[in-house]
Chain A
Amino acid sequence: MNKIVKNAKEAVEGIQDNMTLMLGGFGLCGIPENSITELVKSDVTGLTCISNNAGVDDFGLGLLLHKHQIKKMISSYVGENKEFERQLLSGELEVELNPQGTLAERIRAGGAGIPAFFVPAGVGTEVAEGKEVREFNGKEYLMETGLTADFAIVKAWKADAYGNLIYRDTANNFNNMMASAGKITIAEVEEIVPVGELNPNEIHTSGIFVQRVFKAENLEKRIEFVTEQE
């Protein structure tokens, strides 16, 4: 079993207009840079993108926004992006904001075959509008639904040809759940090691969830706010 493909271009093959994509990362940490660059080149449009954030003006998902390739975003926090703001206010872009933990759990549930579940986040707020509210043990909860995608694109640190993945530090974030929720999951990784070299005890994402793996080239790994000791 060999899931390794040559490059980003081969990895994103089959992504078409109006599809739903999941893209891993928190801010610019752990985002699939090469795949985003390839999507920008491809001119695919009308995308629904499920991603915690929307990148910044000139990096990450901001690049796709700039070319009007995204129709809708499902996110929890979309600050720090002027083009996003402009498109949202002008009505060019549709946005669904979810509480971050709800978004994470919707993706986890989708990947795990769970169509809906109940959470306390958002009860009594505008997030609750149109959603079923049910009481358990005297407390109110909202029904939220699982999310899946045509393609999930994740960024990992190490992978093998079976698609087993390990993430580094806080670059895991949404990647691990998203890997399980794509009909096709693409893993963009820093290093591909021979099968058997990853310690099975340390694998975060099992290969069963991953269909394509490629080694990323020239990662910029931009930092949004460099903060150091004075």
Chain B
Amino acid sequence: MALDKNGIAKRIAQELQDGYYVNLGIGIPTLVANYIPKGIEVILQSENGLLGIGPFPEKGKADPDLINAGKQTITAIKGAAFFDSATSFAMIRGGHIDLTVLGAFEVSDTGDISSWKIPGKMVKGMGGAMDLVASAKNIIVATTHTDRAGNSKLLKSCTLPLTGVKCVKKIVTDLAFIEVTDNGFKLLERAPSVSVEEIVEKTDGKLIVEGDIPEMNV
């Protein structure tokens, strides 16, 4: 069965390691925070100027001075730090963030990503996505395998304006866990009860399938 949003977030959370500083994008990536494995400590960065994102505030406790990059009210954990936007992107551009998780419209089998602009539709801007993908040591994309019309989002080359080139390392979709290698997409795991054939059929870019492909443990 294909994973839902929470399933995708759960699988990505298994990639977290103790001591990681992590930037989570808007949408499915935000859900990863709900599934941080027990026994490890991970600190979440918000590019508007916070290291140490806490849970959403209790009812009536929302503070207009304390928001995340999606402009939602949040809290800060004990030991959090606030800073300006230039310092925030020094953390990002300087390679100090261990893992970046973000959504995408399309990913190519060389690791290019399109995530910010659909020509002909309203352009909202790239926000911090271009800075994040250009500098992150490790980028995991969280996305559905196909769009609503059933077209593959894992392509030979992106058709939409790019956010960054050759930067995506791993992809978790509702169907599969995939690594981007020098030779194309490599299938690492499949969602529970999803067949390799279905993944092959729904992947437009070059997909390497070697040996038995294990099921995800989510």
B81 to chain A, nearest CB (A): 11
Contact B135 A121 (CB under 8 A): yes
Contacts of B50 in A (CB 8 A): 169-170
B9-43 to A contact mask, C-beta < 8 Å, 1/0: 00000000000000000000000000000000000
Among B88, B93, B131, max chain A CB count under 10 A is at: B131
Q: Is A32's beta carbon under 8 Å from chain B? A: no
Given contacts A223-B62, A228-B61, contact A27 B67 (CB under 8 A): yes
Nearest CB of chain B from residue A26's CB, rounded to whole Å: 4
Q: Which residues of B contact A125 (CB under 8 A)?
A: 130, 161-165
Interface of chain B: mostly helix, strand, loop or mixed: loop
CB of A30 within 8 A of CB of B65, answer: yes
Interface residues of A (CB under 8 A from B): 26-30, 52, 75-79, 85, 88-89, 97, 99-105, 107-108, 119-127, 157, 167-177, 204, 221-229
| Complexed CA–CA distance, A125 and B115 (Å) | 12
15 further A-B pairs in the complex, CB-CB below 8 A; given A52-B85, A125-B164 = A29-B48, A101-B47, A101-B128, A102-B130, A105-B86, A121-B134, A124-B165, A126-B162, A169-B63, A170-B49, A171-B64, A172-B84, A226-B62, A228-B61, A229-B59
Residues of B within 8 A of A26 (CB): 48-49, 67, 69, 71, 85
Q: How far is the CA of A161 from the CA of B178 in the complex (A)?
A: 58
Q: Is the CB of B67 within 8 A of A170?
A: yes
B66 proximity list for chain A (CB < 8 A): 169-170
Question: What is the bound-complex CA distance between A104 and B127, given in angstroms?
Answer: 11
A228-B56 contact, Cβ under 8 Å, with A123-B134, A170-B65, A204-B84: yes
The CA of A20 and the CA of B84, in the complex, are separated in Å by: 22
Q: Is the CB of B82 within 8 A of A172?
A: yes
Segment at the A interface, from B72-80, B168-176, B190-198? B72-80
Instruction: State which of B64, B83, B89, B124 has its C-beta within 8 Å of the C-beta of A79.
Output: B124
User: Assuming the A-B contacts A101-B128, A225-B73, are A177 and B86 also in contact, with contact meaning beta carbons closer than 8 angstroms in the complex?
Assistant: yes
What is the bound-complex CA distance between A75 and B163, given in angstroms? 16
Partner of A29, one of B60, B65, B83: B65
